[in-house]
Amino acid sequence: MTPILPRLYQTVPPRQRLRLLSIAMGLVLTATALWPGETAWAADDKPLWPPIVERHNDALGSLSSESDARVLFLSTLAPALNLKDLPLLAPKRQAAKNQIDELLTTELTDAAARLTSALAAERLARQLEAAASGLDAPALLAALQRSTTQQRWLLADQTRPDLAQALTMAQADPPGSADPPDRLARLAAQAVRAQAEAETAANEAWARLAQWRDRARELRGLARLCGSWHWTVHNHQNHQDHKLVMVFDPPVGIRSANGPSTPTGAEAGASRALRPSKIVVLGDALYLRWEQGGTLQEDSLLFVGEGQRIEGSFVTSSGAWGSITGKRAAACSFGK
């Protein structure tokens, strides 16, 4: 059976096919934006970005630098997106008290700029798509001329290949009234891909901003684990004990004033060579995942004794299981 859309497309006059194609691509883009997909730090109830871009069209069109983007986010976008509890928006925000606060502030500031620049990129891509799908060469030329400075800013970090390709296609030949419909159709399709690219970036930045409290807890948990520990691992399969000196580094981006206490001896060297592939700290609960030589081990642990001891259990993919007890040997210091 012949699909209905191709048959419908063939019955439309050539000059009207572009408009039909544009409508279809718009529907695909909307479905893509709404389809639940896995993204880094994925947040629930993500905003629909096209109405927000439309509402702040003029402000987004005036951006040409990271500093402009941060100012617009703090003054307009954050309240509009219901991100009023961000530390960046505190009326009398105090200086960061420690490195964890400094790192969190840096990450949130970067995410704010990324979200705003992504919306500016989506706005520009929407203008290109509207002009191309409408066979409006003057509007396309005007969009290119008005956004010259913004184009340089948006493409400077080379993280928007689809937008870069759309702009290259638009600028390949000066737009004119005699532009063939197929050239504009290809440009419209590429501009739609650039919009999807921008929305993906916006969703990732939004997730970081919306889940900033989880990130703060993660950083503080990793800082709490940092240091050296004396572990005793008891294997219930063979009833043997293994004593280890485990060393955990500070969170990435944070310096320890004293560093993890470096153990000595061959056993300590082996401990240094081991690194968990995943660490999750939620309050007093600690999860460690180890992958080595095709074997998987998962540790489920708790901080006890005011964080000076660790107790819990482990299980491996080979069937081994047992208990883990640990005592802190030295903690990291995170002075400013």
pLDDT above 70: residue 335? no
Tokens of 159: 């993280």
**What tens digit of pLDDT does each residue of 192-244 get?**
999 999 999 999 999 999 999 988 988 888 888 999 999 999 999 888 999 99
**What tens digit of pLDDT does each residue of 119-177 get?**
999 999 999 999 999 888 889 999 999 999 999 999 999 999 999 999 999 988 656 55
CA distance 225 to 260: 10
Quote the pLDDT of residue 251: 83
Q: Let me know: does 299 contact 314? Beta carbons within 8 Å.
A: yes
| DSSP type of residue 229 | E
Alpha helices in the chain (DSSP H): 4-11, 14-34, 49-55, 57-61, 66-72, 78-80, 99-133, 137-146, 148-155, 161-171, 181-210, 212-225, 266-273
Q: Enter the pTM of the model.
A: 0.73
Task: Go through the domains of the chain in sequence order and give each one's CATH number.
Answer: 4-210 (no CATH), 218-331 (2.40.128.120)
pLDDT above 70: residue 39? no
pLDDT above 80: residue 272? no
